[in-house]
Amino acid sequence: MANGTHSTDGLPASARADHWNSVIAQAYFPLDLTFRDAARFEGRLESGTLGDLSLSRLQTESVQYERHRRHISRTTEEQYLITIPRQSPVEFSQSGREVRCDPGGFILERGDEPYRFSYGAANDLCVIKLAKPILAERLRNPDRFCALVFNGREGIGSVFTTMAQQIQHQTVAGTAVDPVAGSVIGRQLVELLALTLDRSSDVETGAASSVREGHRRRAQSVILSNLSNPGLSPEIVADRIGISKRYLHELFAEVNLTVSQFIREQRLHAARDLLHMANPGPLSDIAYRFGFSDQAQFSRLFKAMFGQTPSSYRASRTI
C-alpha cells in the first residue's frame, strides 16, 4: 500500500460511493460497501508503511464492509487486518463468530475468509495490514485468533495498541522514517502483536474452540446424512454449512483427518454395520449404496481398514 491520503472532500455526491470503494480496495482488499447515506458519506484514510506491514488511520461515517467468496477467489496472498477502534464500537462476523469490539479492544480479521464488518456511528480506526506468513513465523496457527476481541487497555495488549497508534500517528503524519528503521519498528510491532495474542490464548480461545467444534460437528452430520451420495465432496459439505472449503479442511486437520478420509472411513463403517445384519444383500449393492465406484474398490479399502475383505468379514459373522 502506497503512503498517502484519500478523502471524499470536494467530491460530488454521485461520485462518493464509487470513490470510496476504490480507496478501500487499494488500501486493504476488495470489499462490498454499504452506506447509510452514500450521497452524504464522508471519509478520510491516511496510510503509511513500515517494512512488511502497513498502517492506516480510517475515519468515516457509518458503513458496512463485506468480503465475499468472489473477492477471495482472486486473492494471491493471504492477509490479516488488525483493527483498533477508537471512537465507537465495531461489529464483526467471520467463520460463524460474531463479536462486538468496543474502543480499547482490537480484533484480528482474515482476508482469506468471508466476513462482515460494520459500525453504526462515525468511527476512527487504527488498522494494521500484514501478510499471514509474517505473523505465522511468530505464532502457531494465527487463524485461531480471528474474530475474537482482545483487551487493548491492560497488560501487554495496552503496550501493543499504544505503540501501534503512536507509530501510526507519526507514519501517516508524514514523519520521515528511513527504510531500515521502519523495518525494525515494524518487526517489533509484529512481535508485540504475537506476544499479546499468545498471552491471551488460554483465556480467549475457549470460545473459538467451541465454535470450531460446532462447525466440525455440523460438517460430520452432513457427511453422515449423505454417505450414499457418490458425489459427496468437501465442496458440497462446506457449501451446506456455509463455510469455505479451506476452513473446512482446517477443522478436520485439527483432529488429524482430511475431509475425504473422514467420508471414506464413515462409509466403510456404515458398510460394516450393514454386514452385521441378516441378508444385507450382494456386496456390489452395498458398495454402490455407500458411494463406492465399484465392488473392487470397496473390497480393497475395506480390507485396508479392517484387515479382511467384506466377503470374509460377512462369512465370519455367520459362523
Distance CA 146, CA 204 (A): 10
Given the C-alpha cell 464522508, which residue does it identify?
A: 42
- E strand or H helix at 105: strand 105-110
Look at residue 317 and tell me whether its pLDDT is greater than 70.
no
Distance CA 243, CA 223 (A): 15
pLDDT in tens, 250-292: 889 887 789 999 999 999 988 888 887 777 888 989 998 888 8
User: By the 8 A CB rule, do 167 and 185 touch?
Assistant: yes
Q: Whole-prediction pTM value?
A: 0.64
Q: Which of 145-159, 172-186, 294-308 has the lowest mean pLDDT?
A: 172-186
Given the C-alpha cell 520521515, which residue does it identify?
A: 176
Sort residue 46 into left (φ over 0), alpha (ψ -120 to 50) or beta: beta
- Domain-by-domain residue ranges, the chain? 4-201, 225-319
For residue 228, the tally of other CB atoms under 10 A from its CB is 12
pLDDT in tens, 179-222: 778 888 899 999 999 999 987 754 444 555 677 888 888 999 99
Superfamily of domain 225-319: Homeodomain-like (1.10.10.60)
Alpha-helical runs (H) found in 81-227: 132-136, 155-172, 179-224
pLDDT in tens, 70-102: 898 777 788 999 999 999 999 999 988 889 999
Q: Nearest Cα to 193, choosing from 112, 123, 134, 113?
A: 134
For residue 221, the tally of other CB atoms under 10 A from its CB is 13
Per-residue pLDDT averaged across 230-257, rounded?
89
Distance CA 259, CA 262 (A): 5
DSSP secondary structure, 13-82, as one string: HHHHHHHHHHHHHHHT---EEEESSGGG--EEEEEEEETTEEEEEEEESSEEEEE-HHHHTT-SS-EEEE
Question: Strand, coil or helix: what is 151?
Answer: strand
Superfamily of domain 4-201: Jelly Rolls (2.60.120.10)
User: By the 8 A CB rule, do 313 and 272 touch?
Assistant: yes
